Chains A and B, each alone.
Chain A
């Protein structure tokens, strides 16, 4: 299992770092998406940032980072606005409104990509869909006072992860109350709409910076799987945040080894490992694991405090 490290430790170190940073950023934002029942919106934004990127690319003729972030941010907020607009102004249900909005925007992006190609510039569709985390260490390193610090995508992701952690600490109570009880949030004088769009803006930035590593398809897994795994294990939000970090560490490391062993896509292997962790948590969660539930049913054991104490608890 130490084989990849012996060969080229630095290379794999950067891939691992990227995996963990993507996992932490996506997982923390994903925790709130899950609580707000907005997992599908994560899926939507991960696709609909594409036209934003293409437009930013067309306008600046470069892949400079501020332009890409701005493009993704605008596209992300337009997506959320469009979903709400379709839902409110027609009889389309929210889930259908999400599908209409993001597939249309993604299609627009695909069409515009071919326009760019004719202009001599090039966006790799394969990379947008599946990501190229294995190539991350090969990107030109960022130099600071002449010293190479590390590959640019990894440093960028580190900045984004730091910002996500910082924001979820600073806005912890606002995000908590607005996810739990939007009515109370507004009645307390907080701006629920601003919090909602703020979260969506952060989601857009996280998604676009994770794009390069894991692509539009698997970034959704990174958003949802860590939080869902944590939800099997704890019913306290701060603990879930911590578990998301642990999850991304384990799934990135195990995924990296899997991909070296099978010589397959690294991002794919990381997501597979993440999903495996979810299944394990689901089966063996100490409080509510499927296996314990089966065994309990077998021996008709009652008196498990957590679940039996509330005969009329679930609404």
Chain B
């Protein structure tokens, strides 16, 4: 996977020997990976494998104990304008006193920088992004009055409004209805086709193979990273999920269904 990287065209994400610890207890060990441009990457692994931790550490939201991360060849704080982020839906308070439009406009804040307010042009972008996820009719709705799937669409619209080149998404499929799920899949594919790079934390093995062209299998250490067809094998999945029997039988079933 480590295709020759020239200095003019650095990879969207390069992680070297990254170790992250909570209370001195490591949750990620020596992660080494380079993600080339234009890939739709699914990050999969068992609970507690450090999937969310990996993307948070990549953006500097969590301090690394060792190692480094480069985004388009630069440290995160210099490249943050090119990075979009969709946090877990549960990570925010949906009773917060803002409406759908306010939330999507937050995606423009990074471009505005300090002191400047969103302009009419920013509102146009926000409206277009809401339209893309079919949430424009809800623009003035208070965010607490949305269903789980609608909330996730708002978060996606906000990420689209960031107009980034590299996206980190933390479980965007969790707790959404089937219609939203397929709408998100189409959207991710579209972003990929426009040359964007996406890293998506995902916990449903059954759909992982179908949704992503590249997989990053994680269990505190990097188990495998590569094209889905190559790494979605019984052996690698077993290595990733260890001795968890219920999951293993699930894995066997999923792999068994392979054509």
Report whether over half of chain B's contact residues are helix, strand or loop; otherwise say mixed: mixed
Shortest Cβ distance from A229 into chain B, in angstroms? 13
Shortest Cβ distance from B105 into chain A, in angstroms? 8
Q: Which residues of A contact B (CB under 8 A)?
A: 35, 170, 172-174, 176-177, 179-181, 183-184, 186-190, 231, 234-237, 240, 306-307, 309-315
One of B28-36, B107-115, B243-251 at the interface: B107-115
Contact call A189/B106, Cβ cutoff below 8 A: no
Contact call A187/B91, Cβ cutoff below 8 A: no
16 contacts between A and B (CB under 8 A): A173-B112, A180-B93, A180-B96, A180-B98, A181-B91, A183-B87, A183-B91, A188-B110, A236-B99, A312-B147, A312-B148, A313-B144, A313-B151, A315-B89, A315-B94, A315-B148
The verdict on B128 contacting chain A, using a C-beta distance below 8 Å, is no
Contact call B114/A186, Cβ cutoff below 8 A: no
The verdict on B235 contacting chain A, using a C-beta distance below 8 Å, is no
Contact call A188/B98, Cβ cutoff below 8 A: no
Tell me the bound Cα distance from A315 to B83 in angstroms: 27
Shortest Cβ distance from A208 into chain B, in angstroms? 27
Contact call B61/A187, Cβ cutoff below 8 A: yes
The verdict on B85 contacting chain A, using a C-beta distance below 8 Å, is yes
Shortest Cβ distance from A306 into chain B, in angstroms? 6
Nearest-CB residue, chain B, relative to A236: B97
Q: Indicate the member of A170, A187, A234 with the most B CB atoms within 10 Å.
A: A187
Contact call B96/A189, Cβ cutoff below 8 A: no
Contact call B144/A189, Cβ cutoff below 8 A: no
The verdict on B21 contacting chain A, using a C-beta distance below 8 Å, is no
Q: Indicate the member of B81, B112, B145, B168 with the most A CB atoms within 10 Å.
A: B145
Chain A residues, CB < 8 A from B96: 35, 179-180
Chain B residues, CB < 8 A from A186: 59-61
A183-B56, A313-B94, A315-B89 provided; 14 other pairs, C-beta below 8 A? A172-B117, A173-B109, A174-B114, A177-B109, A184-B106, A184-B158, A189-B80, A190-B109, A236-B97, A237-B98, A240-B97, A306-B145, A310-B146, A311-B147
Chain B residues, CB < 8 A from A172: 117
* Interface hits, B53-99 → A, CB 8 Å: 56, 59-61, 77, 80-81, 83, 85, 87, 89-99
Contact call B144/A310, Cβ cutoff below 8 A: yes
Q: Nearest 9 CB-CB pairs, A to B?
A: A188-B110, A189-B80, A187-B85, A235-B142, A183-B87, A237-B97, A310-B145, A235-B97, A312-B147
Q: How extensive is the interface on chain B, given as a class?
A: 35 or more
Contact call A183/B148, Cβ cutoff below 8 A: no
Report whether over half of chain A's contact residues are helix, strand or loop; otherwise say mixed: helix
| Interface 1/0 per residue, B101-135 and A, CB below 8 Å | 01100100110101101100000000000000000
Contact call B97/A187, Cβ cutoff below 8 A: no
Q: Indicate the member of A174, A184, A236, A310 with the most B CB atoms within 10 Å.
A: A184
Known: A184-B85, A235-B144. A189 touches B94 (CB 8 A): no
Question: Which of A183, A236, A312, A313 is within 8 Å of B98, CB to CB?
Answer: A236
Shortest Cβ distance from B161 into chain A, in angstroms? 11
Nearest-CB residue, chain B, relative to A173: B109
Shortest Cβ distance from A235 into chain B, in angstroms? 4
Question: Which of A35, A183, A306 is within 8 Å of B97, CB to CB?
Answer: A35
Contact call A181/B87, Cβ cutoff below 8 A: yes
Shortest Cβ distance from A305 into chain B, in angstroms? 8
Chain B residues, CB < 8 A from A231: 97
Contact call B112/A234, Cβ cutoff below 8 A: no
Contact call A176/B85, Cβ cutoff below 8 A: no
Chain A residues, CB < 8 A from B87: 181, 183-184
Contact call A314/B109, Cβ cutoff below 8 A: no
Contact call B106/A180, Cβ cutoff below 8 A: yes
Contact call A188/B80, Cβ cutoff below 8 A: yes
Q: Indicate the member of B94, B97, B117 with the most A CB atoms within 10 Å.
A: B97
Tell me the bound Cα distance from A306 to B145 in angstroms: 6
Contact call B91/A189, Cβ cutoff below 8 A: no
Shortest Cβ distance from B258 into chain A, in angstroms? 34
Nearest-CB residue, chain A, relative to B99: A236
Known: A180-B93, A183-B56, A240-B97. A189 touches B110 (CB 8 A): yes
Known: A306-B142, A314-B144. A173 touches B117 (CB 8 A): yes
Chain B residues, CB < 8 A from A314: 94, 144
Q: Indicate the member of B81, B93, B175 with the most A CB atoms within 10 Å.
A: B93
Contact call B77/A189, Cβ cutoff below 8 A: yes
Tell me the bound Cα distance from A237 to B151 in angstroms: 19
Chain A residues, CB < 8 A from B98: 176, 180, 236-237
